Structure 1
């Protein structure tokens, strides 16, 4: 047996490892698919990460359909994008806008029809819109848990399922969802938000497996903290606005950098991308490999905070 491993199997193993390593290098180096002319739908496009994604994909030549609740703010984004591309030689397209509230799932079907009327198809759907939460479970009304779930989970699910048949008929398209590291690990005083993102991760993992046969990739992107107003606009246990820019949010990723990573993930048809620092990334692995220690650390964190406040 030792002779076989030493003289016969070892070179084969080393060769196989070399092939795997080369493949991974080539994957990282590849430019990926172009989004020039692709119809890209972005929810929550009037501010934060959604607005930055609009900038990045517009500059890349995509035909945008910007979605949000405020028509005036969406139109302002359109004007900014049009002005930014006025002096560029690269071909760009004036975005369309569709106004609707993702949390009101009974309106999503109509919104999907309007989206499809813009260009007749959807090539890339970026489910970005969402709301955060800060609260103690003991003091949080069940209606708040439902409201967060409506926006962060049922809304993207409803829009995806409304647009998916048109992609399946063409055997073409790409579904993207902006989840969160908290869709992989749960931290104290974020129950509604973490629960909605865990559900999102599970649903789109299932979707990826089910529609792979149609050539439609599904990308789940899980960022850590991003410098947006997400914490300011977060809801609390009684449904009121949190109104505080957390320190962790204020020092988080630049949304422009995250938007560029979203474009990169789309081009490379990545399946699951975590965009976080060393500690959150390590925590994701710790939750799987050493759950007892992870739970102990989270309990300690909860005791130190005692109430939802800046981390």
Structure 2
């Protein structure tokens, strides 16, 4: 029997990309899921894509509206009577130099990619504590381990997630709750196309490494294996890749890594 059989999993950012792939794979493995994003029609489409809409509940959620989070958590729990696993996957990226980037863009990225995660976590924690079990899965990024040009807000938010959830992991072990942080490499999603520019407008360009990135369905399988094994942190993506090498270089040969990053700054 699958580890996920009859488990209830709440996924944010579930209307496309990794979130959509996770929804489909979780239902295939027997889970019941709650899918959240701002786009209700896309959530309904994802529910159909899973092939078993009876196992899916849609819950519209805007990560820029924290005043709606308490109700969202209550509705998520009420959907199937419990939440076993919460997958934080919603977010937005950014592509611009620091000198050009409006403060509003920096703040929006932090609000969506960091503050929404910690507030939803805080609100769901009493449920996990009451049930003496639970698992937070955080979809971070390689940018949570390194910092490269044109991604200052995004890298800052992802680094912050690692710090917060490492602390949380130590706090929640007494009631058998867990944290798994996922650091994806390049995945074939719209993350670059939807990224904000310096003014907050959408980039509307596919990153040069995204097209050759790892498939979302394979990514979802890797993530779910890591969660099942209770991994603290897991890189997912191509086993041999320059982004994985960048993490290794930054850890053991930071001067080499930083000199490489310097060459990536656009004119």
Q: TM-score, normalised by structure 2?
A: 0.95
Distance, in Å, in 1 between the alignment partners of 2:41 and 2:264 is 42
* Distance (Å, rounded) in 2 between the aligned partners of 1:262 and 1:274: 9
How many Å apart are 1:101 and its aligned residue? 0.2
Which structure: greater helix fraction?
Answer: 1
Offset of 1:290 from its aligned partner?
Answer: 2.3
RMSD of aligned residue pairs (Cα, Å): 1.5
Query: What displacement does 1:279 show?
Result: 2.4
How many aligned positions are there? 265
SS in 2 for 1:284: helix
Secondary structure in 2 matching 1:210: helix
* Aligned 8 A contact 1:130 1:152 in 2: yes
Q: Which of residues 252, 260, 265 is equivalent to 1:297?
A: 260
Aligned partners of 1:36 and 1:60 also within 8 Å: yes
Shift in Å, 1:291: 2.0
Match of 1:155 in 2: 116
User: Partner of 1:89 in structure 2?
Assistant: none
Once residues 154 and 101 of structure 2 are traced to their aligned partners in structure 1, the CA distance between those partners, rounded to angstroms, is: 12
Structure 2 residues without counterparts, runs of 5 or longer: none
**Which of the residues 63, 68, 75 maps onto 1:107?**
68
8 Å Cα contact 1:64-1:93 kept in structure 2 = no
Q: CA deviation at 1:93?
A: 4.3
Bigger Rg, structure 1 or 2: 1
Q: Are 2:24 and 1:55 equivalent residues in the alignment? A: yes
Compute the TM-score of the two structures, normalised by the length of structure 1: 0.82
- Ranges of 4+ aligned residues in structure 1 off by more than 4 Å: none
Give the match's secondary structure for 1:250.
coil
Q: Which residue of 2 aligns with 1:186?
A: 147
Matched, 1:66 2:66: no
Task: Indicate whether 1:195 and 2:156 are aligned.
Answer: yes
Trace 1:272-311 onto structure 2 (pairs within 5 A): 272-276=233-237, 277-302=240-265, 305-306=266-267
Are the aligned partners of 1:52 and 1:259 in contact in 2 as well (CA < 8 Å)? yes
